Amino acid sequence: MPRIADVTVAAVTETHGRFLLVEERINRRLVFNQPAGHVERGETLLAAVVREVQEETAWQFEPQALVGVYAWRNPQNGRVFLRFAFTGAVTAHDPHARLDRGIVATHWLSRAELKARETPLRSPLVMRCIEDYLAGARRELAPIASLDLSAALGVEAVELTG
């Protein structure tokens, strides 16, 4: 029977060895994640990642490359996530902007600081994206720059078989 995947985007952005992360409250517990979220109907992947970074961190994000595409099944509820992780630069920051509901704070943390934190990661994809980024994983944006998954597939989500 096919499973439906939640299509999400995430931003891996680094400045001086530190990564931009959000501390968010999910189901009454605090977790760390990259700025990330669901792709809205009719939205391209690039527009979604720019929007999510702005809404969750108040930074302007300029995507430069695709780090990778990841599938993960949440063992607690069985939901499947298809994550498109992008890297790029952040520019203007609005310290007075209101952040998305559930975001407690934003942090710039090194890989070591993130691993040493007691606060859990939202999913194993958080560290996997950082590790892939540090290993040099970069793919051109052109092939997916204007991809609208819902329009391309004629559905609101991607079906994974198996």
H/E element, 161: none
Q: Is residue 131 part of a domain?
A: yes
Q: How far is the C-alpha of 59 from the C-alpha of 80, rounded, in Å?
A: 28
3-state secondary structure of 5: strand
Q: Is residue 101 part of a domain?
A: yes
Domain count for the chain: 1
Q: Is residue 124 part of a domain?
A: yes
Q: Is residue 161 part of a domain?
A: no
pLDDT value at 158 more than 50? no
Query: SS3 for 62-91, per residue?
Result: EEEEEEEEEEEECCCCCCEEEEEEEEEEEE
pTM exceeds 0.85 for this model: yes
- Domain with 106 in it: what CATH number? 3.90.79.10
Q: Is residue 155 part of a domain?
A: no
**Local confidence band at 150 (pLDDT 50, 70, 90 cut-offs):** low
Q: Is residue 145 part of a domain?
A: yes
Average pLDDT of span 48-59: 97
Average pLDDT of span 125-151: 87
**Local confidence band at 148 (pLDDT 50, 70, 90 cut-offs):** low
- The residue behind tokens 């607690």 is 76
Average pLDDT of span 118-134: 93
Q: Is residue 89 part of a domain?
A: yes
| Structural domain range at position 92 | 3-149
